Structure 1
């Protein structure tokens, strides 16, 4: 099916939609040629200075589509295909580059700070929030399978919650983790994660994992 023309309205609709990440990536990948031609051209009487805004939204959206499909090296390659002037001057693309560095260096706390604290355009906000949930889910799976024991403050830091409350031994914090199937050793002050099954194609992560994260609450907000 032929896609609608590349426009701010179309990109905003895609960002706000619940299409699967793979489908979002596929749709946006089909627009990259149009974006590349637009960036090489002089603009038009209709769009004028709006071309840079459209290109910013496209490349930012496509960047998050890469992240949502766990294509970090490809996301890095995308930043090299962005128009150079726009990449160096546009605030949203600068935010994307900052986020890329934090992800590449596995700086979990910084990732949450970037997603929550930096100014993102309203039209891009749904993808930013969607990726925050995805990153938290993916991290929960990783620490549940990679750690035999973990301190509460460390677990909270990985999940973008409140490490100070965990460090103080807040029983409510501990209960959030034990509600997910983890066990708590009060003598050693260690949590013992319980592995979480990775969802299959027929079992979207928005089910089991999202319910698990709901148990953990929104303490990072």
Structure 2
């Protein structure tokens, strides 16, 4: 079984392509009738789906993995714990699942990138949802200590009221500038002209 395309995606940090590569490869291998289950990189495949937030495909993959393989691969089980936490919206659990396992060198890159993206997504959601928020809540949603969460928030423009331990959210600047595509404007003009005549 040739996994070079998968290894290339992992080494080039093209993690958003991992799930599609694995899905395609597993279909190719399965269509040949060759037994692949023992050597298939299930954990990477599952992490690929989690990376692109395709929870339905992740659940389907998990259900299709033979029980014996689930029992013999702790990294696969650890990846599935992340999926379970995402499914149930257990924000702190996602961080615990990621940080509570010693990932293989092959998986560590995709896991680190997933965690960075997840943390940024959570921060963006907090920015939209709150105007002020207590430090402990930010720490909970960001999977960080209160000190690290405060530092992260302040580095991203939020301000801290030390006595109350409240952070004031800095909302992103909204730009109303729009660029008009001249070809679209031309088509619109022609359409209006056609309607009038």
Identify whether the pair has TM-score above 0.5, normalized to the shorter chain: yes
Cα deviation, 1:48-88, whole Å, max 9, x if unaligned, reads xxx62x31x2x222222212212122211221122332123
User: Aligned partners of 1:24, 1:42: CA distance in 2, in Å?
Assistant: 21
Select the residue among 5, 18, 25 that pairs with 1:24. 18
Q: Provide TM-score, normalisation by structure 1.
A: 0.66
Offset of 1:12 from its aligned partner? 3.4
Gaps of 5+ in 2: 174-197
Unaligned residue ranges in structure 1 (runs of 5+): 44-50, 167-172, 198-221
Q: Is the 8 A contact 1:144 1:194 kept in 2?
A: yes
- Are 2:168 and 1:178 equivalent residues in the alignment? no
2:191 paired with 1:191: no
Aligned match of 1:113 in 96, 105, 124?
96
Query: Number of paired residues?
Result: 173
Give RMSD over aligned pairs.
Answer: 2.8
Cα 1:175–1:110 change in 2 (3 A) is closer
Q: Deviations along 1:149-180, whole A, 9 cap, x unmatched? A: 211121122222213x47xxxxxx64542331
Paired with 1:37 and 1:91, the residues of 2 have a C-alpha distance of 28
| Partner Cα separation in structure 2 for residue 155 and residue 145 of structure 1 | 13
Q: Is the 8 A contact 1:15 1:126 kept in 2?
A: yes
| Distance (Å, rounded) in 1 between the aligned partners of 2:57 and 2:169 | 31
Task: Decide which moves more: 64-73 or 182-191.
Answer: 182-191
Could you say which structure has the larger radius of gyration? 2
The alignment status of 1:89 with 2:72, answered yes or no, reads yes
What is the deviation of 1:30? 1.0
Conserved? CA contact 1:16–1:127, under 8 Å: no
- SS of aligned partner of 1:66: helix
TM-score with structure 2 setting the length: 0.73
3-state SS of 1:150 partner: strand
State the distance in 1 between where 2:68 and 2:53 align.
27
Separation in 2, partners of 1:161, 1:146:
19
